[in-house]
């Protein structure tokens, strides 16, 4: 079963605006990752945050992690039309398994 | 799409046929994964392998089979027992983590359609 649930399911914004996506999960995790998927393509890794980290930045991306609430957020600042894609969170549990659990994704559309 | 290739890009299957999807990686990764993605949905894990000659069922393994005879290759067979196989199939690989977290590298995917 899917552990991660992203919200919103879909988001439409104007170019230059910020986009925020949220991910909730159910069990203790080792780390949480965000991926991007362009339509009909494979996923591309964006950023990873470990369970002992609270915030991480990479270029225009900012990720936060709140393990007490079992949630994470991905912020894309100054969005561009090229950011249009689906964004997924993925978690790996602490139990030693190498399984990754993916959420259902947020479809972001950035209007030029 | 990194160092992972999947073939074919599009595959059409008649009902009752088995088909095999190819996945090859040159990243020297020990772990490999197969996911299924349905329209507007997230990824569901079919099978994964942490090492050669070993693999584990994921959440939706019924109707699928895999082999891991070589480190570089992890083919997926969709059997006739899979009742609704039309989907987008993604292969991924990663290093086997010790204490370090790691990312997954994905192939470009194979779109399977049952005629």
- Please give the share of chain A, as a percent, with pLDDT higher than 70: 91
Beta strands at A106-111 and A10-14: parallel, antiparallel or unpaired: parallel
Distance CA A2, CA B60 (A): 11
Q: What's the token pair of residue A32?
A: 């949480």
Residue A83: closest CA among A50, A110, A52, A46: A110
A53 touches chain B (CB under 8 A): no
**Per-window interface: B 28-87 vs A, CB < 8 A:** 31, 33, 35, 40-45, 48, 50, 58-59
Say what the pLDDT of residue A1 is: 32
Say what the pLDDT of residue A95 is: 62
Contact check, Cβ <8 Å, A98/B48: yes
Distance CA B69, CA B88 (A): 24
Average pLDDT score over residue span A42-68:
95
Say what the pLDDT of residue A73 is: 96
| Chain A partners within 8 Å of B35 (Cβ) | 102
B84-114 per-position pLDDT tens digit: 999 999 999 998 765 556 789 999 999 999 9
| Chain B partners within 8 Å of A92 (Cβ) | 97, 101
Neighbour tally for A68: CB within 10 Å: 5
Q: Nearest CA to CA, how far is A75 from chain B (Å)?
A: 19
DSSP string, B13-51: E-TT--EEEEEEE-S--SEEEEEEE-TT--EEEEEEEEE
């Amino acid at each position: 079963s899917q552990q991660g649930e992203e919200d919103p399911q879909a988001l439409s914004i104007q170019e230059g605006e910020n986009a925020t996506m949220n991910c909730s999960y159910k069990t203790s995790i080792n780390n949480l990752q965000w991926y991007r998927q362009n339509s009909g393509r494979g996923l591309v890794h964006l950023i990873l945050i470990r369970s002992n980290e609270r915030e991480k930045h990479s270029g225009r991306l900012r990720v936060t992690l709140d393990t007490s609430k079992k949630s994470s957020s991905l912020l894309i600042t100054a969005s561009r039309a090229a950011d249009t894609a689906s964004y997924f969170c993925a978690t790996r549990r602490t139990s030693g398994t190498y399984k990754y659990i993916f959420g259902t994704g947020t479809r972001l559309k950035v209007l030029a | 799409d990194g160092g992972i290739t999947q073939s074919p890009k599009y595959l059409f299957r008649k009902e009752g046929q088995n088909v095999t999807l190819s996945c090859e990686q040159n990243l020297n990764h020990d772990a490999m994964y197969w996911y299924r993605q349905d329209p507007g949905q997230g990824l569901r894990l079919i099978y994964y392998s942490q090492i050669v000659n070993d693999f584990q069922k994921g959440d939706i393994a019924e109707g699928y089979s895999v082999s891991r005879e070589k480190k570089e290759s992890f083919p997926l067979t969709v059997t006739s027992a899979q009742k609704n196989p039309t989907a987008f199939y993604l292969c991924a690989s990663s290093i086997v983590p010790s204490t370090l977290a790691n990312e997954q590298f994905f192939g470009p995917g194979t779109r399977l359609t049952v005629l």
